[in-house]
Amino acid sequence: MNPDSPSPTPERARVLSGMRPTGALHLGHYHGALKNWVRLQDDYECFYFVADWHALTTHYEDREIIGKNVYEMVIDWLAAGIDPERATIFIQSRLPEHAELFTLLAMGTPLGWLERVPTYKDQIEKLKDKDLATYGFLGYPLLQAADILIYRAAFVPVGEDQSSHVEITREVARRFNHLYGREPDFEALALATVKKMGKKDAKTFDAAKKAFQQDGDEEAHAAALELIAANVALSAADRERLTGWFRATGRTVLTEPQALHTEVKKLPGLDGAKMSKSYGNAIAMRDEPAVVERKIRQMQTDPARVRRTDPGNPLICPVWQFHLVYSDDATRDWVMKGCTTAGIGCLECKQPIIDAISREQAVWRARAAPYVADPQRVRQIVDAGTERARSVARATMRDVRAAMGLDY
């Protein structure tokens, strides 16, 4: 290596997440997920996918909705600030490897694991108007696990109430590795991998391995894991093999992801319930200013404020939740004092929200404009992202097939 050339940097940890293309994205999507996706691009290798197969689990009779919204949703992502140079954007159904891993995982996943997922019964209850007594809907947590595991994602950004999805993925990976993790010629492969580290790192690694396996030295354990993570000559598969060899457990074929608990600001719908297009209470990310103003002005407020002179309680008013997201401390103080003393009316209270959303959406519309004008550009971004994702998915599936004895 040229001594004057910059040193290579270790790989960034990979994050994976997706959204179902079942309608126009709204402010709840942005503040609940997309805003965090944009931030994660600075510190992680980000894979974001259009979960069109997942959409079919509840919309299998409304397939037109899915096709209509796939690329519109990607435009919303780009408008929010997702950068195709820093994130891999792709469509789930364009990668049959997802379905293959889903099928192979299904062979050994206990049925009870799927039935106990909390959101399974919740969704059955909430979507009573749909026939969800299907294999696809029961199996969606396993398909979700395949989506994550096929990219060996280290982290999955979720809110606290979604951790169960990551936990079942970890259980599935753990079970798979227990059943299939010991490679043929594992020892020889591990020794060959150590040589990739270079003489100095290899010597340090061997000493740490001896200290850990003979004496249970946890400091040696931590030092070895840091050494493996920092060595740029190692691939992700190499790191998994060395970690398994160090711990005397065999190779980790599928990586157990961690839940990445990100800041989530829950924005209610116009009626105070969860914001959802199907409830008719949403503000779409690219709604026109006049539409936004009309929707906000018609929002429900504190029912105790029948007349302008009646004092109100912001804490039970849906508009206050918008102030928590969009307003600064001074504005919130003004609202709290003005509402509780009847010093301001509901329309006055709503105006700062209208102005803040309009400013936010102006940026989104400006970013979206070139993609709306040239849809082919969006397709090119998705095509490029899909091919990047495919190379990772295929590498994982080669390892999975070999581990299961299907590489004949």
Q: Are residues 47 and 169 in the same domain?
A: yes
Indicate yes or no: pTM above 0.85.
no
The full DSSP string for 333-345 is HHHHHHHHTT-S-
In this prediction, residue 121 has a pLDDT band, given cuts at 50, 70 and 90, of low
Total domains, the chain: 3
The verdict on residue 106 lying in a domain is: yes
Q: Are residues 361 and 381 in the same domain?
A: no
Q: What is the pLDDT of the chain when averaged over all its residues?
A: 89
Range 246-251 contact pairs with CB under 8 angstroms and sequence separation of 24 or more: 246/205, 246/208, 246/209, 246/212, 246/213, 246/221, 247/212, 248/213, 249/181, 250/177, 250/181, 250/182, 250/183, 250/186, 251/181, 251/182, 251/183, 251/186
The verdict on residue 336 lying in a domain is: yes
Q: Are residues 196 and 94 in the same domain?
A: no
Q: What is the pLDDT of residue 274?
A: 86
Q: What is the pLDDT of residue 4?
A: 40
The CATH number for 314's domain is 1.10.240.10
* Residue 341, pLDDT above cutoff 60: yes
The verdict on residue 241 lying in a domain is: yes
The verdict on residue 280 lying in a domain is: no
Lowest average pLDDT, out of 8-12, 172-176, 233-237, 360-364, goes to 8-12
More confident residue, 236 or 201: 201
Q: Are residues 231 and 316 in the same domain?
A: no
Q: Are residues 34 and 73 in the same domain?
A: yes
Q: Domain range spanning residue 242?
A: 186-247
Percent of the chain scored above 70 by pLDDT?
93
65-80 mean pLDDT: 95
Q: Are residues 92 and 234 in the same domain?
A: no
Which of the listed ranges 91-95, 134-138, 217-221, 403-407 does the model predict with the highest average pLDDT?
91-95
